[in-house]
Chains A and B, each alone.
Chain A
Amino acid sequence: AQSVTQLGSHVSVSEGALVLLRCNYSSSVPPYLFWYVQYPNQGLQLLLKYTSAATLVKGINGFEAEFKKSETSFHLTKPSAHMSDAAEYFCAVSEGITSYDKVIFGPGTSLSVIP
């Protein structure tokens, strides 16, 4: 069964600094991988998804993530943090036939951006 771990439940970065949010997964088959962002009291917004087309995936708001099979990782990065990036970030995995069959979410990482 697939699972997702996110190292660091809380990450703080300075405005303008690199954002790195870690995600590792376990899966018995080539997975679909996702990063979602959640602002307070709101639903989830898809940042990006990996579907095996390319290992480096570019998403919205300047975020990107790299799929590394050897490390079973899918870390999320952004070169320069903005105050508006402060939110909860969830990594997720799906092993389904289609990319949205039974998506399993990681525990989440809360990102704080310090002015």
Chain B
Amino acid sequence: GAVVSQHPSWVICKSGTSVKIECRSLDFQATTMFWYRQFPKQSLMLMATSNEGSKATYEQGVEKDKFLINHASLTLSTLTVTSAHPEDSSFYICSARNAASDTQYFGPGTRLTVL
């Protein structure tokens, strides 16, 4: 079946540094990918919609300059958390839409801890 991977699965960084998270669709082309953020014991909050070859669409309240999204190919989207702070610590989950099957597949998530 279709698989979406994320790398890394777990990352710890110092406050002020930047962290890049990759989301890959392994066996289908994804023109659209989504980035979600999940706090402990809470639901997923949509951060942005990433469209291949164009700028991402951010949800209200999400800082586009802080959460940089690049969707340079049909199988890869990246989320870069710039100048990370402890409040950015969270579980980040991506998903990729397989338009051919009208199905959305979720990655396993990346746990970011900012010290």
Contact = CB atoms under 8 A, between A and B. Distances in A.
B102 A107 contact: no
Interface residues of B, number: 23
Interface residues of A, number: 18
A114 B99 CA distance: 40
A83 interface: no
Interface string B79-115: 0000000000000010101010011101111010000
Contact of B104 (A42, A46, A90, A106): A46
22 contacts: A36-B106, A41-B109, A42-B108, A43-B4, A43-B93, A43-B106, A43-B108, A44-B93, A46-B103, A46-B104, A90-B43, A90-B44, A98-B99, A99-B102, A100-B32, A100-B97, A100-B104, A104-B46, A105-B44, A105-B46, A106-B43, A107-B43
